Structure 1
Amino acid sequence: MKDTDRYPNAESYDRLRRSARDLIDHGVSPPHCGGNLSVDALQLLYEQASRAETAGDALKLLHELQTYQVELDLLYEQLQANEHEISEELAHYRSLYEQAPVAYLIVANDGEIIEGNQAASVLFGQSTTDLAGNALSSVLAPGEEVTVNTLLRNSGNEEPASASFELPDRRRVKIIARSAAARDSILMILIEATANAATS
Structure 2
Amino acid sequence: MRPGHPPSGNDAGQLRARAEERVRAREEAASLRTENEADALRLLHELQVHQVELELQNSELQRTRDEVEAALERYTDLYDFAPVGYFTLARDGGIYSANLAGADLVGVPRARLLGRRFGTFLPLAERPGFDAFLTRTLADTQRESCEVTLEPAGGGRRVVRIEATASPSGKECRAAVLDVTALKAAEAQVRRVSEGLERTVAERTAELEAANAELEAFVQSVSHDLRAPVRTISGFSRILAEDFGKQLPPVAADHLRRIHDGAHRMGALIDDLLRLSRIGKVELEITTVDLAGPCREILDELAAGSPDRRVETVVAASIPVHGDAGLLRVMLRNLLENAWKFTAAETAARIEVSSRLGADGQRETDFSDNGAGFDMTLAGKLFVPFQRLHTAEEFAGTGIGLAIVDRIVRRHGGSINAESVEGAGAVFSVRLPAPREEGP
- The answer on whether the counterparts of 1:147 and 1:163 sit within 8 Å (CA) in structure 2 is no
Instruction: Work out which of the two has the higher radius of gyration on C-alpha atoms and give 1 or 2.
Output: 2
CA contact (8 A) 2:89 2:97 kept: yes
TM-score by length of structure 1 reads: 0.69
Show the counterpart of 1:175.
Answer: 162
Aligned to 2:71: 89
Where does the alignment leave 5 or more consecutive residues of structure 1 unmatched? Answer: 1-49
The 3-state SS of whatever aligns with 1:85 is helix
Between the aligned partners of 2:142 and 2:121, the Cα distance in structure 1 is: 25
Equivalences for residues 158-173 of structure 1 within 5 A: 158-168=141-151, 169-173=156-160
**3-state SS of the aligned residue for 1:165?**
strand
SS at match of 2:157: coil
Q: 1:111 aligns with which of 81, 93, 99?
A: 93
Deviation at 1:61, TM superposition (A): 1.0
The residue aligned with 2:34 is: 52
**TM-aligned CA distance change 1:63 to 1:198, over 3 Å:** farther
User: Do the aligned residues in 2 keep the contact of 1:151 with 1:161 (CA within 8 Å)?
Assistant: yes
Distance 1:119 1:125 in 2: 10
The question of whether the paired residues in 2 share the 8 Å contact of 1:151 and 1:177 is answered with no
Q: Which residue of 2 aligns with 1:67?
A: 49
Question: Is 2:122 the counterpart of 1:140?
Answer: yes
With structure 2 as the length reference, what TM-score do the two structures score? 0.33
State the Cα distance separating 1:142 from its structure 2 match: 2.1
2:158 partner letter: R
Structure 2: distance between partners of 1:107 and 1:199: 30
Equivalences, count:
151
Equivalent position SS for 2:147: strand
Letter in 1 for 2:176: I
What's the CA shift string for 1:113-166, capped at 9, x where partnerless? Answer: 111111112111111112211011112222322112111111132321112212
SS of the counterpart of 2:160?
strand
Question: Within 2, Cα distance between the matches of 1:196 and 1:91?
Answer: 33
Which residue of structure 1 aligns with residue 265 of structure 2? none
Higher RCO structure (Cα 8 Å, ≥6 apart): 1
> Which secondary structure state, in structure 2, belongs to the residue aligned with residue 58 of structure 1?
helix
* Amino acid across the alignment from 2:90: A
Change (3 A) 1:80 1:147: same
For residue 194 of structure 1, the aligned residue among 160, 181, 188 is 181
Deviations 1:47-99 (A, max 9, x none): xxx92231111111111111111111111111011000000001001111101
Matched letter for residue 192 of structure 1: D
Q: 1:80 aligns with which of 49, 54, 62?
A: 62
Secondary structure of the structure 2 residue equivalent to 1:51 = helix
1:36 maps to what in 2?
none
State the alpha-carbon separation in 2 of the partners of residues 125 and 140 from structure 1: 13
- Aligned residue for 1:143, secondary structure, equals helix
Which amino acid counterpart does residue 127 of structure 1 have in structure 2? P
Task: For 1:85 and 1:65, locate their aligned partners in 2 and report how far apart those are by CA, in whole Å.
Answer: 30
2:142 is matched by which residue type in structure 1?
E
* 1:80 to 1:180, Cα distance in 2 relative to 1, 3 A: same
